[in-house]
Amino acid sequence: MPWNCPACGGTTELGYNVCRKCGVARPGSVPDETNFRMEMPMTTTPTFETHTIEAYRGPVFGETIYGANAVIGIRFDYSTVGRSMLMICSSGTAVIANPRTPDTSR
Ligand SMILES: [Zn+2]
């Protein structure tokens, strides 16, 4: 059963102790630092259901992304190298995405 955030009113699936919209801890939970930290949102889809994309920062291929807080449109590809190695390539579009608030999502 989903739970409602006391700070923003957003709904988050049970199993997550941090609000997916604003990052506030679920009431009654004791989030440790590892679970409380929000990681960079990434998706293979061109949009986020929970975030609004404010700006596009262009294609990204490496591990370091400057001036963005999320990546959309992630694509993975691979090819074999020789008989025993696999080369994996990934690319996406770096964006600035802000959590949707209840007011703007309606
Ligand atoms: Zn919230």
Going from the Cα of 90 to the center of ligand 1, the distance in angstroms, rounded, reads: 31
Question: Shortest CA distance to 27 belongs to which of 18, 38, 35, 36?
Answer: 18
pTM for the structure as a whole: 0.54
Match domain 39-106 to its CATH number in 3.20.20.70, 3.20.19.10, 3.30.110.70, 3.60.40.10. Answer: 3.30.110.70
Give the distance (Å) from ligand 1 centre to CA of residue 5: 5
State which CATH number among 1.20.120, 2.60.120, 2.30.30, 3.40.1400 fits the domain covering 1-38: 2.30.30
Q: Model confidence over 36-85: pLDDT tens digits?
A: 555 778 899 999 888 899 999 998 886 667 788 899 999 999 999 999 99
Residue 106: is it exposed, middle or buried by C-beta count within 10 angstroms (0-12/13-18/19+)? exposed
Span from the CA of 32 to the centroid of ligand 1 (angstroms):
18
**CA–CA dist 76, 71 (Å, integer):** 13
Rounded Cα distance, 50 and 57, in Å: 19
What distance in angstroms lies between residue 36's CA and the mean position of ligand 1's atoms? 13
pLDDT single digits (tens) 13-29: 877 788 888 888 888 88
| 32/29: higher pLDDT | 29
pLDDT of residue 56: 95
